[in-house]
């Protein structure tokens, strides 16, 4: 299984200060979506020769992206095995994002409430300082939630109609959510 997070791809490009990174940085820091055409172009170029099972994370985020994925997969002779909707209540999303910390060195993710590092603000794995993502700041989180409601929520109706849609209770503990995801993907 090959994990493909469009957010990770964009953060990596921003970190490397590539042209793409400069193009998308403003969208990420403002909590807005990167334009659909650019998202699809980046994925297509990154995954041109990738044949392993793909696990998309944070993609698609709009109906246009989902349609783009469908037509791209049709050309590649691939199809979607399962769509997983991990549902978390809005107050819990705000609580979790406010407590999330990311290592500035290796990218490992912590949560100061549920999964803190041994030493405050220092990565257990590489000893680099932990940071709060720019878009996990409260004012940007509010914008991201609104963007989700306006542009991403309509995807639920799109995929519910597809028959391979699964809703998972994301309010459970991380291990329980992971077990449910693993179980669904095994089928």
Dihedrals φ, ψ of 104, to 5°?
-75, -15
How many residues of this chain bind ligand AMP (CB under 6 A)?
A: 17
| Cα angle: 10, vertex 11, 12; to 5 degrees | 90
Query: 5: which strand partners?
Result: 57
Binding letters toward ligand AMP, positions 137-166, x by CB under 6 A: -------x----------------------
Could you give the C-alpha distances from 25 to 14, 132, 182, in angstroms and in order?
6, 16, 33
In this complex, which beta carbon is closest to ligand AMP, that of residue 123 or of residue 136?
136
DSSP secondary structure letter of residue 33: P
- What is the x/- site pattern for ligand AMP, positions 43-82, by CB under 6 A? ---------------xxxx---x-----------------
Tokens encoding 81: 């095995």
Q: Which residue is nearest to ligand AMP (CB)?
A: 7
Work out whether 28 is an interface residue with ligand AMP (CB under 6 A).
yes
In the numeric block, the tokens 């990596």 are attached to 12
**Measured from the CB atom, is 34 or 103 closer to ligand AMP?**
34
Give contact residues for ligand AMP (rule: CB under 6 A). 6-7, 10, 27-28, 31-34, 39, 58-61, 65, 135, 144
């Amino acid at each position: 299984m090959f994990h493909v997070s469009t957010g990770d791809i964009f953060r990596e490009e921003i970190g490397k200060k590539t042209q793409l990174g400069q193009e998308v940085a403003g969208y990420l820091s403002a909590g807005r979506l990167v334009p659909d055409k650019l998202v699809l172009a980046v994925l297509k170029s990154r995954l041109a020769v990738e044949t392993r099972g793909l696990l998309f994370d944070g993609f698609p985020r709009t109906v246009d992206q989902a349609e783009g994925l469908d037509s791209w997969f049709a050309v590649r002779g691939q199809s979607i095995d399962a769509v997983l909707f991990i549902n978390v209540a809005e107050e819990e999303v705000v609580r979790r994002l406010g407590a999330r910390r990311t290592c500035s060195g290796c990218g490992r993710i912590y949560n100061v409430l549920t999964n803190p590092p041994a030493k405050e603000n220092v990565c257990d794995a590489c000893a680099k300082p932990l940071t709060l993502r720019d878009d996990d700041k409260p004012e940007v989180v509010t914008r991201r939630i609104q963007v989700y409601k306006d542009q991403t929520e309509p995807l639920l109706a799109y995929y519910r109609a597809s028959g391979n849609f699964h809703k998972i209770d994301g309010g459970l503990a991380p291990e329980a959510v992971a077990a449910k995801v693993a179980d669904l993907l095994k089928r």
